[in-house]
Every structure is written in C-alpha cells, then in structure tokens.
Amino acid sequence: MQAIEEMLREKRIKVTPQRMAVYAVLRETRRHPNVEMIYQKLKPSYPAMSLATVYKTVDVLNKVGLIQELNVGEGGLRYDAMIKPHPHVYCQKCGKVDDVEQFSMDIFHDDSLFKQVQNETGYDLSAVQLYFYGRCPECRE
C-alpha cells in the first residue's frame, strides 16, 4: 500500500494535512462514511478543521479519482476509498452500507455487460453502480 502523501502528490494536488487526514479515514474504514461522519471522526485530532473543508476535500479526492462517491438514496453522499467498482448493500433500518465482494467479478470485471448496455443504449459509459436494499443481519431480529 502506497503512502498517502505520495498518492496525493501524484495527482498534482497540494498535499495538506486536511487532505491526508480525510483520505486516511477513508482508507481505514469499510463503513462508507458520509461527510458528517468523516468530520466527526477527525474532530478530536483536528479541532480546527471545518465541515466545509471536508466537503471540498472529498470533492477533490473524488474528481482526481482517489475515492468514489456512493449514492444509496439517503440524501447525502457516501465515500469509499475502494475505487474498484463493486456492489453495495444498504440497510434500510440502520442505514449501514456494506460491500458485496463476491460478485464484483461476475458483473463488473467481465465487460460484456458494459458492452451490451453500450450497444443497446448508444451511451458512452464510464461507470456503473449496483445497489441492493434490505435489512442487515443485526436488524432482521
């Protein structure tokens, strides 16, 4: 795993403590946090950091391709440092977002689906998202 500082530098964006911190949070977790969660996580160690900076930072990191945005339909966006396309499951009771790992290959890595959809729709495709909705094991009772 590459050093965070180096990864930012390769993307030709200024390396600041705030950017390293936000990216570090996303790399350490599998929880797909939203902006508020990232902000709360960083508050203890970076008391001066503002929420606006977190918004701007995730936007930059997403634009340079270091992270991806998820939209499970809550309103706000979630962020994921795992940029390889993979499906997600959303628990409609507790709001948790989990990865679905097993099927990344079948659906996304075989590009026949992508190609077929391009042919059918005429779109020039660049990304795909697959979301499942339901109740997580803890919320099923």
Binding site for DNA (CB under 7 A): 9, 13-19, 34-36, 46, 48-53, 55-57, 59-60, 75-77
Minimum distance from residue 21 beta carbon to its own copies (Å): 25
Residue 22 Rama label (left phi>0; alpha psi -120 to 50; beta) = alpha
Q: Got the DSSP string for 54-80?
A: HHHHHHHHHHTTSSEEE--SSSS-EEE
Minimum distance from residue 56 beta carbon to its own copies (Å): 17
- Piece in contact with its own copies (CB under 8 A), picked from 12-20, 42-50, 55-63, 128-136: 128-136
Of 88, 78, 96, 87, residue with least CA distance to 138: 96
Instruction: Choose between 41 and 87: whose C-beta lies nearer to its own copies.
Output: 87
Encoded amino acid at 45, one letter: S
Question: Does residue 129 interact with its own copies by CB under 8 A?
Answer: yes
Rounded to whole angstroms, how far apart are CA atoms 109 and 30? 21
- Which of residues 3, 100, 105, 109 is near its own copies by CB under 8 A? 100
Minimum distance from residue 76 beta carbon to its own copies (Å): 10
